[in-house]
Each structure stands twice: as C-alpha cells, then as structure tokens.
Amino acid sequence: MIGAVVAVALAPSCAGPPGAVAPPVDERLTAIAASQGTSRSTLETGRRNYVGSCTRCHLPVTPSKYTDEDWDEILAKMRPKSRLDDAGIASVRAYVMAANRLEDVPAGR
C-alpha cells in the first residue's frame, strides 16, 4: 500500500515539464483567444490554474486530448475538487478551449 502511495505522489514529476502538455501562452494562443474575446491575462491565469490546481491530484493532460464538450463536463465535475471559484474555472476553460485550436493556426503566426 505504501508503495502505491509513493508511486502516486511521484507520478506528476514523471510527466515532464508542464509546458510539455500545457502549451505556453504565446502569440498563437493569444491570437486564438482574442478571436474568442478572451484576453492574454485570462489565458495566463487559466494556464496557471490548470497547471497548479489540476496537477495537485493527477498528471496534466494535453488540452487537445478532449473535445470542448468533454472539457465542459470535466470542469463541471472537477470544480469542487479544484477549489477554484467561478472565475478560476472560467479561466481554465478559456485556456483549454484556446489550446484545443492550436493545430488550426499555423506556426509563426
């Protein structure tokens, strides 16, 4: 049992740096968010909440692994566990929704 607890406790460190699965807030992501009416500040807060709150309990997931609809369900389910307020959850939602569209925007934009 103790081995399982240690493995779970160490698992997040095996995931690599947060940027590996949580895209940084760069010009591409900012442009996507701006087209959705979201500010860079909201994205930065969303990424910080995503990396900080979500990875307290489990490994981070690349946002594009799930659809927007999946994320809405996931965020609703995880909100109580995350201890984020409405604004915090909204910022995470804005971040993952924008990150889901990164493949649609050519690099170098």
pLDDT tens, residue by residue, 36-84 = 899 999 999 999 999 999 888 888 888 989 999 999 999 999 999 999 9
For 20-48, b/e burial (b = at least 16 CB within 10 A) is ebbbebeebbbebbeeeebeeebbbbbbb
Is the pLDDT at 23 greater than 70, yes or no? yes
pTM above 0.85, yes or no: no
- Domain limits, the chain: 2-104
